[in-house]
Amino acid sequence: MIDLLVRNGVVVTAQATFPADIAVRGDKILAVGAWGSFGDAALEVDAQGKFVLPGLVDPHLHMAHPFKDQVSDDGVYSTSVSAAFGGTTTLIDFAIQWDKNKTIPEIIQQRRAQIEAETVVDFGLHATPTKSTVDTIQSVVPAAELGVPSYKVYMIYRSQGRMVDDAVLYGLLEEMKHKHGRLMVHAENASIAEFKQQLFLEEGHTSSEYFPLFKPNIVEAEAVNRAIYFTHITGSRLYIAHLSTREALHLLKNAQSAGDDILAETCPHYLVLTDQVYRRRDGHNFICSPPLRSQEDVEALWQGIADGSLAVISSDHCGFGLQQKNYGQGNFSLTPNGLPGIETRLPLIYTEGVLKNRISLNRMVEVLSTNAARIFGLYPQKGEIQPGSDADLILMDGEQTRQITARQMHGNVDWTPYEGMVLKGFAVTTILRGKVIIQDENLMAEKGSGKYLPRKIE
Ligand code: URP
Ligand code: ZN
């Protein structure tokens, strides 16, 4: 009757920490009970000395992300493998309308097929329209019918053809209010950033140390302010991606206090790195948008995680390798944006957050797993340990210490922003829908074994 029994572990959910065994039948959790309360099982996993967490959910990452005539070195398969080793069992990737001749439903179906063929973990999709036209707004209903009730729009990257204008931002918010969707924004003020970039380039200030200066805090804060105001006026639902500044956090807190339905995430790199890295010889590798910020911002963001104003820590993983990062030879305006980090999300937050008493273990589970599942319509199938939920479980070793090096990572990126950091809190076993897919550094999942997750937001 029991296919898999995870014995002798300490279960950690968003709500509680308690010793328990977990019985699994098929791909679902059958029961959670005291140690020793279940009989024999076809397969047992001994979790003694380990924490047992719900599989992590990452609602923001980029796999095989295009840049010029290439895609990021980390493709769909390699990123999903890296995710599995890092304890992430559910991803929500983006169906980006790179080809403006294709409709949003076509883009969704194409991206779904591409990921389904390769991923080893489960996945959903956000739609990312790039056209400021009425059909973008009208695509909300057909996208929801394909299980995609969340959109992400770029408020920047005009020259790359990814930005949508304010009319579409506003229109999507109006449409999503009535159709039970949530709009995610990459909030940066395009005009200020473009203007400053032009000035720096004209003055020959192209090295990475100028990168954070071209996108100062106001660039994020103004765009966040605008998106919040639109959401307030429409009464809709907003999710702010990769929030990085104390100014934007302040605006978020005010909006939440006023009762607006506005949620936000930050990412590990905004919590453990600062803009000082841009002065390094390899500073161009750290170019990501928004840029890394000051220590003051870092401390404010941890406070925002602890007090509940920031709901999620996503990876925003985007795996460009060193050669790709060197495109433009350090010129910040030519360097592909984005940092790899899907595999290091858990140990970074455990070490820097839990072990430094900034957040509790339960809060860590909430921001790395449960909240993303709740917000994006996957709860309680994902992000929870209770009867009926998918048996997505990870065993986390809170004691094992590793010094991070790129060679340990299991994706296809030849560097890590966290090289040399000494961390604890690694996922040593990963279980997806009742099947052990990672154990003792071995991958036991086949390419394409991850499932598409159609979602609904109530
Ligand atoms: O710098 C970031 N966040 N890069 C991720 C990929 C993108 O273009 O949004
Ligand atoms: Zn991103």
Question: At 182, is the secondary structure helix, strand, or coil?
Answer: strand
Please name which ligand lies nearest the alpha carbon of 320: 1
Q: Which of these, 275, 271, 339, lies nearest to 305 by C-alpha position? A: 271
> Residue written as tokens 């090295």?
207
Query: Where are the extended beta strands (E) located within 167-298?
Result: 182-186, 237-240, 261-266
Task: Write out residues with Cβ below 6 Å of ligand 1.
Answer: 62, 65, 288-289, 316, 318, 337-338
User: What is the distance between the alpha carbons of residues 398 and 347, in angstroms, rounded to a whole number?
Assistant: 9
Residue ID of nearest Cα to ligand 1 atom 4: 338
Residue ID of nearest Cα to ligand 1 atom 5: 338
Contact 343, 84 (CB under 8 A): no
Q: Is the pLDDT of residue 180 over 90?
A: no
317 CA to centre of ligand 1 in angstroms: 8
CA distances, 415 to each of 219, 272, 380 (Å): 29, 17, 35
Q: Is the pLDDT of residue 109 over 90?
A: yes
Amino acid in the structure at residue 49:
G
186 CA to centre of ligand 2 in angstroms: 8
Residue-level pLDDT at 289: 98
> Residue written as tokens 């140990």?
347
Please name which ligand lies nearest the alpha carbon of 314: 2
Q: Is the pLDDT of residue 215 over 90?
A: yes
Section 143-166 average pLDDT:
97
Please name which ligand lies nearest the alpha carbon of 93: 2
The number of CA neighbours under 13 Å toward the Cβ of 171 is 16
* Ion ligand 2: residue ranges with CB closer than 5 A: 316
Atom of ligand 1 lying closest to residue 318 CA:
5
Please name which ligand lies nearest the alpha carbon of 315: 2
Beta bridge partners of 56: 88
- Give 4's pLDDT tier (boundaries 50, 70, 90): very high
Section 264-286 average pLDDT:
98
Q: Tokens representing 100?
A: 């403006």
Task: Supply the DSSP symbol for 254.
Answer: H
Which phi and psi (to 5°) does residue 212 adopt?
-70, -20
Please name which ligand lies nearest the alpha carbon of 61: 2
User: What is the distance between the alpha carbons of residues 34 and 29, in angstroms, rounded to a whole number?
Assistant: 15
User: What is the distance between the alpha carbons of residues 174 and 137, in angstroms, rounded to a whole number?
Assistant: 9
60 CA to centre of ligand 2 in angstroms: 6
Section 182-205 average pLDDT:
97
Concatenating the DSSP letter of every residue in 5-36 gives EEEEEEEE-SS-EEEEEEEEETTEEEEEESTT
Concatenating the DSSP letter of every residue in 193-210 gives HHHHHHHHHHTT--SGGG
Residue ID of nearest Cα to ligand 1 atom 2: 338
**In whole numbers, what is the pLDDT of the chain averaged over residues?**
98
Percent of the chain residues topping a pLDDT of 90: 98
- In this prediction the pTM is 0.98
447 CA to centre of ligand 2 in angstroms: 24
Residue-level pLDDT at 350: 99
Q: pLDDT of 46-83, one tens digit each?
A: 999 999 999 999 999 999 999 988 999 999 999 999 99
341 CA to centre of ligand 1 in angstroms: 12
Atom of ligand 1 lying closest to residue 157 CA:
8
Residue-level pLDDT at 269: 99
Residue-level pLDDT at 458: 85
Alpha helices in 119-189 (DSSP H): 134-138, 140-145, 166-178
Q: pLDDT of 300-357, one tens digit each?
A: 999 999 999 999 999 999 999 999 999 999 999 999 999 999 999 999 999 999 999 9
Best residue for ligand 1 mutational test, from 62, 154, 287 (most atoms within 8 Å of Cβ)? 62
User: What is the distance between the alpha carbons of residues 150 and 170, in angstroms, rounded to a whole number?
Assistant: 15
Residue-level pLDDT at 228: 98
Residue ID of nearest Cα to ligand 1 atom 6: 338
Section 204-217 average pLDDT:
97
- Give 226's pLDDT tier (boundaries 50, 70, 90): very high
Residue-level pLDDT at 48: 98
User: What is the distance between the alpha carbons of residues 457 and 420, in angstroms, rounded to a whole number?
Assistant: 41
Residue-level pLDDT at 440: 87
CA distances, 215 to each of 2, 205, 289, 293, 294 (Å): 55, 14, 9, 10, 13
User: What is the distance between the alpha carbons of residues 227 and 240, in angstroms, rounded to a whole number?
Assistant: 9
128 CA to centre of ligand 1 in angstroms: 13
Q: pLDDT of 112-129, one tens digit each?
A: 999 999 999 999 999 999
Section 89-98 average pLDDT:
98
Atom of ligand 1 lying closest to residue 242 CA:
3
User: What is the distance between the alpha carbons of residues 208 and 278, in angstroms, rounded to a whole number?
Assistant: 5
Burial of 403 from C-beta contacts in 10 A (0-12 / 13-18 / 19+): exposed
∠ CA(369), CA(370), CA(376), 5° rounding? 95
Contact 59, 265 (CB under 8 A): yes
Best residue for ligand 1 mutational test, from 316, 339, 342 (most atoms within 8 Å of Cβ)? 316
User: What is the distance between the alpha carbons of residues 27 and 437, in angstroms, rounded to a whole number?
Assistant: 13
188 CA to centre of ligand 1 in angstroms: 12
318 CA to centre of ligand 2 in angstroms: 7
271 CA to centre of ligand 2 in angstroms: 16
Please name which ligand lies nearest the alpha carbon of 59: 2
Residue ID of nearest Cα to ligand 1 atom 8: 337
214 CA to centre of ligand 2 in angstroms: 19
Q: pLDDT of 6-35, one tens digit each?
A: 999 999 999 999 999 999 999 999 999 999
User: What is the distance between the alpha carbons of residues 334 and 144, in angstroms, rounded to a whole number?
Assistant: 36
Atom of ligand 1 lying closest to residue 162 CA:
8
Residue-level pLDDT at 204: 97
- Give 179's pLDDT tier (boundaries 50, 70, 90): confident
Residue-level pLDDT at 57: 99
User: What is the distance between the alpha carbons of residues 182 and 278, in angstroms, rounded to a whole number?
Assistant: 34
Atom of ligand 1 lying closest to residue 65 CA:
6
